[in-house]
């Protein structure tokens, strides 16, 4: 069975063109979302994924209708593949039920992994260069030494509750405990 998924980013946009194309391709069930692709919660997609059974195929009008990013797209297709469910994108003519479609998708996956590795390497090199120049990473400290000492004195005196100390200093409980650990 072919199951369609259509998505538009805003409520003002119309799904009808995508739905028409999905029906033409043979989809008997179609699930939709009117939500930004950047949102991780897409109820229509979740319903479609829950509806699909082994041997079915998920069909989208275009790749960007399914995935928020190449990484997300690959995760969804991998999930489908593990469940023995095919995937087709009408505009890009990708069909993972064919050898050629699988090849194209594996190339996408390799490119995504390559990109992640490049980002990781550049990040490590940037941090090493910053350390070599004497810079330390992480967030700047919220309190100066005078306020740290005040917080420690208030805490050690046991005359104030933790919430009172936090209010006096202007910090959260977790921040207070982090400074007390040091």
- The 3-state secondary structure of the chain, one letter per residue: CEEEEEEECCCCCCCHHHHHHHHHCCCCEEEEEECCCCCCCCHHHHHHHHHCCCCCEEEECCHHHCCCCHHHHHHHHHHHHHCCCEEEECCCCEECCCHHHHHHHHHHHHHHHHHHHHHHHHHHHHHHHHHHCCCCCCCCCCCCHHHHHHHHHHHHHCCCCHHHHHHHHCCCHHHHHHHHHC
Task: Catalytic residue, from 9, 88, 157, 174: name it.
Answer: 9
The verdict on whether 25 is a catalytic residue reads no
Please identify every residue annotated as catalytic: 9
């Amino acid at each position: 069975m072919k199951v369609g998924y259509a998505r538009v980013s805003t409520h003002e946009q119309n799904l009808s063109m995508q739905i028409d194309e999905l029906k033409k391709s043979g989809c008997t069930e179609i699930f939709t979302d009117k939500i930004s692709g950047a949102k991780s919660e897409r109820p229509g997609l979740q319903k479609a994924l829950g509806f699909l059974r082994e041997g079915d195929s998920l069909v989208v009008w275009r790749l960007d209708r399914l995935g928020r990013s190449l990484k997300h797209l690959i995760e969804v297709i991998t999930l489908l593949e593990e469940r023995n469910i095919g995937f087709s994108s009408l505009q890009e003519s990708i069909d993972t039920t064919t050898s050629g479609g699988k090849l194209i998708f594996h190339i996408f996956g390799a490119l995504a992994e390559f990109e992640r590795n490049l980002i990781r390497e550049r990040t490590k090199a940037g941090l090493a260069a910053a350390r070599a120049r004497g810079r330390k990473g992480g967030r700047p400290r919220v309190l100066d030494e005078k306020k740290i000492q005040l917080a420690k004195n208030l805490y050690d005196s046991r005359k104030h509750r933790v919430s009172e100390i936090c209010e006096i200093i202007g910090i959260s409980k977790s921040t207070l405990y982090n400074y007390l650990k040091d």
